[in-house]
Structure 1
Amino acid sequence: MKIILAEDDPIMRSGIETFLKSQGHQVEAVGTGNAALQRCRETVPDLILSDVKMPEMDGLSLLAKLQEEGISLPVIIMTAFATVEDAVLAMKNVAEDYLTKPLDLEELKIRIQKIQQKISLLKENRELKKRLRAWEIPEIVGVSKPIREVLKKISSVAKDADVAVMIYGESGTGKELVARSIHALGERSQRPFLAVNCAAIPDDLLESELFGYRKGAFTGAYRDKDGVFQEADGGTLFLDEVSEMSPRMQAKLLRVLQEGQFQVLGSPSQIRVDVRIIGASNRDLKQMIETGNFREDLYYRLNVVEILLPPLRKRPEDIPLLIEHFLNGRRTLIFPEATLEVLQKYPWQGNVRELENLVRMLQATTEGDTVHPEHLPEKIVAGASLSALNWKELWKKKDFQAALHQAIENFEREFLGHHLKKNNLNISQTATAINLSRVSLYKKIKQYDLLSDDSQ
C-alpha cells in the first residue's frame, strides 16, 4: 500500500516508517499535517497514518480538511493522549481507525490488513456494479457491511456456472435481483434466465409450467407446450418461493436435479437439460425439514451455496442511498436529516419494495421540494417512534396514558407483524402460535394494516 505517515516526533516517525517498509508498504513520512495534506493533493495514497497532536495542523484538522476538499481516503489516527474526546472527534470526522501510543506494531499491522481487505472488497464491488450496469441489471444499492458481503458472494458464486444457490430473505429484499445478477456475471449469461414463482401457481399448473406437456395430455391441451426447464436449457432457472412446492412437486424437482432429465407430461420419453438452479425462500428450510414440510434430500441439492439477504431494518445506513437511487431520473425531493432519522427508525416490514413505494407516493403527493416528517404517512411515523421499543421517545411524553397507548400500539404492531411473517401470513396458524383468538388477531391485522402489500 502507498501510505503517508504524519508524525511530528522524528524518532517515532523513523521507527514506524521502518516497520511499515519491512511489511512491503511504500511510505512517505512527513512531520506536519500541512505537509500530509499537500502530499495528498499531489499523489493518491491508499492510507494516511496520522498523529493527533502536531504543530501547524493537527490530525483532527487534517481529517476535516481532507473531507472539505473531497479527498476520500482511509485514515488511522494515533495519539499518546488517549482521551474519549479525541476518539469521538476522530470517528466523527470519518477516521477509519484509532490507535493509542505507544503503538503495538502487531496491532498496527492487523489494522492495516483489515483496511487492505476493505479496499479490495470495495474495488471488487465497484467492478461488479459496472458489469451489472453493462448487462442492464438494476444496481444493488448499498454500502453497509451486509450488502458488501452479498456483493462479494455474488461475484464469487457467479464464477461457478453449475453450482446450485439458495437465496434467503424476507419479501421485498431483492432475491430475484440477486439471482439475475449471478446469471449475468456467469458463463451462462448469453443463455436464457427464466423465473417461476412457485407460490403463485397451483400445484397441477406448476407441473405443466416447469416440465411442459404434449397435445392431448389432458383436457384443454390443444397444442404442445415446452416447460421452463426446456426453455432455460443452457441458462438459469430461478425458482422463487421454492419452499411452497407440494411434496409431489418436490419429488419431481429432486429427480431433475439428480438425473439432469425430466419427462414431459403426455410423452413417454425423457428430455435431458443443462440448467443452473437458483432457489429462493423467505422461510427457514431447515425448520421445514424438521416439521416434515420439506425434503431433506432436496434441501441439500438446492442449498449448495446460500446467500442471506438482510432486511432493510438491519441496514438503515443504506436508506439515504436507496432514496437517491429511487429518485434518479424522476422528480427530485429533498429529505432533511429529521426525515431520514424517522425513516431509519421505521422497521420496514416490506423492505426495499416498501421504501420504493413510499418514495413514489411522496413524489406524486408532496407539495414543494422538501419532505418533512409531517409529510410521511402516519403508519411510518408511528412505526418509527417505537421501532425496537424506542423508550427515549416515550419518556419525552408528559401524558402517561398517551405514552402507554403508543407503547402498546407499537409493541402489538411489531409483535404481530413478526409472527405473521414467521407463519407465512397464515392467520389461523399465527393465532395458535401466539395463543390469541383468530377473531382478535384479525381485528388487530385490520387495525394496523398488517397484510397490505407494503407490510409483506
Structure 2
Amino acid sequence: MTDAHTSPIRGRILVVDDQRNMRATTALLLRAEHHTVFEAATGEEALAQLAGGSIDLLLTDLKMEPMDGLTLLRRALEVAPRLQVIMMTAFGSIESAVDAMRLGAYDYLTKPFKESELRLRVERALERSHLQRDVDNLATDFNQRHGLSALVGGSAVMRDLSTRLRRVAQSDATVLIHGESGTGKELVARALHAHSRRKVRSFVPVNCAAISEALLESELFGHAKGAFTGAVKARRGLFEEADGGTLFIDEVTETSPAFQSKLLRALQEGEVRRVGESTALRVDVRTVAATNRDIELEVREKRFRQDLYYRLNVVALRVPPLRERLEDVPELAKHFLERSNARSPKPKRLSASAVAHLMGYNFPGNVRELENLVEQAAALAENDELLPEDFPLRQGRLTPSHGTPSVAFLDGQGGGGRLPSTGPTLAEVVEEAERHAITQALERHGVDLARVADELGVSSTTLWRKMKRLNLRPPPEPARE
C-alpha cells in the first residue's frame, strides 16, 4: 500500500514544442504518470492557455519559431509569477538554458533525455510548486487574521493609520509604534508584517516588560553552552529566529541603558553575538518596536538613549486611544461578541441601548477593556440580549466623555443597584458621529465632494443622501479674483 506522504505529486503541465512528435511523446510520458497534460505548438498558444487556466508546470523547448523559449519564459512569468518552468534544450545550448534559469526557470532538460530523468525533474518542480502554494496559503491565512482587516474600525483616525501602515509596510524601515496600553500595538505590528515582503517568514514578538533584565539579553541574542548557570546547551536568540522576518520589541522603554547600547549595536551592524561567544552572526531582520510611554520624555530624562531612539523612530505610527474613535465602538463590540459567540453554545446579541451606553464611556483601558467587558457580559448575562446593566466595571463608576450623560455603575462589592440609563439612543449617537466625521472631512476638502466621499469610504450618492438627511452643506467655493 502506498504511503500518502510519499506518493508522487500530480500536476497540471503544459508542454510547448514546435516539433509535433517531440511534443506528443513528452505529453504521452507525462500522462502515463497520471498528470493532466496540455499541449501547445507555439509561444502565443501557450500564453493563451496560461491565461485561461491554472498550470503548475511549463515544460518548453528553447529553440522555437516565431517566439523562442526565453521570450515565452519572460512573458509566462508575467502572466503567472509562481509558475514553475523547465527548459528543454539541445546539448549544444546549455549556456542558453543557464540563462533561462537566471531569468526564473526552475530547471532544464538536455535533449535527448531519458524517461527517468524527465520524471525526476518534473516531480521536483511540482514539489516546489505545491510547497510555494502552501506558503502562499499560510501567508494568506496570516494576512486574514493579522492584516489590515484585523484593525477593526472605520473612523478617520483608523483610516489614516491604515493608509500610513500600508505605505511603510513595503519598505524595511524600522518602525516605532506609540500608543497607550490596550490600544492594539501588537496588532499593528503584525499587520505591518502581514503586508510586507517578509510575510512568508517569521513574526517574532518579545515583551521587554515581561522578561527580567538578566534574561533579556540571552532571550534576544542567544547564548553559548555554559555561558551562565543553567545554560546547559547553546540556544538561538530571537534575532536569529526572526532572520528574514520581523522582530517586534514591545515595551522597549522598559530596558536599561546598558541593554539599549547592545540593542543599538545589533541594529546598526545587522549582526548579533550570543552571550558567551566572540563570533558575530549576520541577521536580516526588520525591527518594529513599541512603547506606551512618552519616549521623547524618556530621552530628555536620560532614561532612554537618544541614539537608539533615532535608530528606532525612522517611521512613527501612533495607535489612537479608543476615546478618540468612539464611533468604532459599535463595530468593535460586535466583533468581540461574534468571537465570543463562536466559542459559546448560547450566542448573545447586543441591544441598541447597550451600544449607546458603551459609546458614552471614555475607556481608560482602551480596546482591551472593551474586549474584556464584552466577553464578561457574554459569559454572565442571563438573557440572549445584552443590556446596559450587563456591563459592570471593575473600578467604580463609568466616566462620561464628550458631554454624554452618564450612567452610574456601582463597583458590585456590596451588590448595589444601578441607575436607569438616561443616555442617547443608538440612532442619536450614530447620527452625531456621522455628522462629526462628515463635517471634519468637508473642512479638509471643501467643495471637492469626491475626495470627501473617498476619505469617508462611501459613494458620492451615499454622501449626498447623508448630507441631506443631516442638513449639511459644503462650504462655498473661494471667491475668484
TM-score, normalisation: structure 2: 0.52
Match of 1:230 in 2: 240
> What residue in structure 2 maps to residue 425 of structure 1?
none
Residue 135 of structure 1 and its aligned partner are, at CA, apart by 4.4
Letter matched to residue 365 of structure 2: G
Asked if 1:348 is matched to 2:363, the reply is yes
* Cα offsets for 1:291-339 (capped at 9, x unmatched): 0111111011000001100111111111110111112251543333332
Unaligned runs of 5+ in 1: 1-129, 395-405, 407-456
Look up the SS of the partner of 1:171 in the other structure. coil
Offset at residue 381 of structure 1 (A): 8.2
Partner of residue 137, structure 1: 146
The aligned runs of 1:326-365 (5 Å cut-off) are: 326-328=336-338, 330=341, 331-365=346-380
Q: Call closer, same or farther: CA 1:200–1:380 in 2, change over 3 Å.
A: closer
Partner of 2:392: 377
Q: Out of 221, 244, 247, which is 1:211 matched to?
A: 221
**Other-structure match for 2:266:** 256
Distance in 2, Cα, partners of 1:133 & 1:288:
34
Contact map agreement 2:142 2:194 (CA 8 A) in 1 = no
Q: Distance in 2 between matches of 1:371 and 1:147?
A: 27
Distance 2:396 2:401 in 1: 10
Give 1:234 shift. 1.0
Q: What residue number does 2:275 align with?
A: 265
Q: Distance in 2 between matches of 1:134 and 1:248?
A: 36
Cα separation, partners in 2 of 1:308 and 1:273, compared to 1, 3 Å: same
Output the CA distance in 1 between the equivalents of 2:321 and 2:141.
Answer: 22
Matches for 1:166-185 after TM superposition, within 5 Å: 166-185=176-195
Q: Highest CA radius of gyration, 1 or 2?
A: 2
Task: Give the corresponding residue for 2:330.
Answer: 320
Task: Report the CA distance shift for 1:367/1:135 in structure 2 as closer, same or farther (over 3 A).
Answer: closer
Give CA deviations for 1:101-157 in whole Å, capped at 9, x if unaligned.
xxxxxxxxxxxxxxxxxxxxxxxxxxxxx9677543271100101111111111111
Q: 1:153 aligns with which of 158, 164, 188?
A: 164
Identity of aligned residues (%): 47
What are the superposed Cα offsets for residues 367-411 of structure 1, whole Å, 9 maximum, x if unpaired? Answer: 112222223215588214x34676x669xxxxxxxxxxx9xxxxx
Give yes or no for contact 1:132–1:181 (8 Å, CA) kept in 2: no
* Cα distance in 1 between the residues matched to 2:153 and 2:195: 19
In structure 2, list runs of 5 or more residues that go unmatched: 1-138, 408-418, 420-481
- Corresponding residue of 1:295: 305
Deviation per residue, 1:59-106 (Å, 9 max, x gap): xxxxxxxxxxxxxxxxxxxxxxxxxxxxxxxxxxxxxxxxxxxxxxxx
Alignment CA distance shift 1:317-1:142 (3 Å): same
- Contact 2:143 2:195 (C-alpha < 8 Å) held by counterparts: no
Contact 1:216 1:222 survives alignment (8 Å): yes
User: Across the two proteins, how many residue pairs are aligned to each other?
Assistant: 263
Aligned counterpart, 2:448: none
8 Å Cα contact 1:312-1:351 kept in structure 2: yes
User: What one-letter code is carried by the residue in structure 2 that aligns with 1:207?
Assistant: E
Question: Is contact 2:360-2:406 (8 Å) kept?
Answer: no
2:254 to 238, 244, 248: 244
Aligned-residue RMSD, C-alpha: 2.2
